[in-house]
Amino acid sequence: MAKRLATYTALLRAQEAGLILVIVSLTIVITSFAGTYVDKTTGHQVNTFFNPRSLLQVTSDASLFAIMAVGATIVIISGGIDLSVGSIYALSAVLTAMFMRHNPSSGIWLPLGMCIGIGTICGALNGLMVSALKVHPFIITLGTMWAFRGVSFVTSKAESILFPDAAIKAVQSTLGLKPGLYPIPTIIMVLVTIAGWLYLSKTTAGRNVYAFGGNEEATRYSGIKVNWVQTGVFTISGLSAGIAAFIGSSFYGAASCADATGYELKVIAAAVVGGASLTGGKGGALGALLGALVITLISQAITYLSLDRNYESIIIGCAVVIAVLLDQWSRKLAQRRIQRV
């Protein structure tokens, strides 16, 4: 058992190390072709990409995907999938913005609590339907993806609604850095990743998620309440979408029913590229973060290399396919090692 655990740990570390290598390589390539400009303040030549403002913008752009990818990864580890995270994002942001429009002086905690609360409720509904109806998560979340998006469209009447000033000022705070540097989204991304890592690796509930995704029947016979596991993972996914909705809407200043359209695919791609296995039982929060950074850097590379934007979806799609193939290869390799022992 100890040898088997060591094998999986080594493979996981190798995959995360590989992702870090990819991130470093992409950064070097983009930096090499990005060109330079003259800083008006210092008069020095500055690389267009490799500078604090651009790098922080990359992590800010990745933060929304990464936050939701942490929750989606937990669902995928359990053997499920959540297609509704983008719609939960939009619904949480729109309902919060509409309520705060009539309560503009409520500060930051009320909109934060509303986004998280609405996202958590939507996630819990997904989980309850999956566990109670015994319908595949793909079908349930495909339906709620359209339903949640439709509710946000009807309630907002397709109007873009300003987010409260207190939330905007909080998320756009420079924390003493130079003007134009906004570290809050990156900080929240890191905190959510740490929380996801602690949940998966240090709690009984997290270990139950791995057990359920690895072998549902064995988990059921071991006395673990599998319905609670399924409900819990979707609740966490909804919660992460609610956090992302607050950060994104505050950072950009408004909420719309069209927000996060297509995010569900990028979130799942980030989770898969980060090492989560669609068959369940494998993945991690750090991998989700690294996967989101890889996808964001691919998008940045296309921009800085002046390539056709239509190639972005092709490259990301190929990255997902390669990640799945690598996952299958690593599983076969692990099985062979176990058989030899």
Query: Residue 341's pLDDT is what?
Result: 60
C-alpha 91/C-alpha 260 separation (Å) is 10
Asked if 65 and 274 touch (Cβ cutoff 8 Å), the reply is: no
Query: Residue 103's pLDDT is what?
Result: 77
Query: Residue 66's pLDDT is what?
Result: 95
Residue with tokens 């950074």: 293
* Two structure tokens written together for 78: 């359990």
Residue 219 burial (CB count, 10 A): 20
Report how far apart, in Å, the C-alpha atoms of 291 and of each of 34, 56, 272, 276 are. Answer: 22, 17, 7, 10
CA-CA-CA-CA torsion sign (274, 1, 7, 198):
positive
Pairing of strands 254-255, 36-38: unpaired
Residue 31 burial (CB count, 10 A): 17
C-alpha 281/C-alpha 214 separation (Å) is 4
Q: What is the DSSP string of 206-272?
A: HHHHHHHHH-HHHHHHTT--HHHHHHHHHHHHHHHHHHHHHHHHHHHSEE-TTTTTTHHHHHHHHHH
**Which of these, 184, 187, 193, lies nearest to 66 by C-alpha position?**
193
**H runs (alpha helix) in 253-284:** 263-273
C-alpha 146/C-alpha 222 separation (Å) is 36
Query: Residue 240's pLDDT is what?
Result: 97
Q: Which residues on neighbouring strands pair with residue 161, listed in sequence order?
A: 255
Query: Residue 178's pLDDT is what?
Result: 85
This prediction has a pTM of 0.90
Q: What is the pLDDT of residues 154-166, one digit of tens each?
A: 999 889 999 999 9
Query: Residue 7's pLDDT is what?
Result: 52
Q: For the chain, which ranges sit under pLDDT 50?
A: 1
C-alpha 73/C-alpha 66 separation (Å) is 10
Query: Residue 44's pLDDT is what?
Result: 80
Q: Which domains does the chain carry?
A: 2-340 (1.10.3470)
Q: Can you tell me whether residue 35 is helix, strand or coil?
A: coil
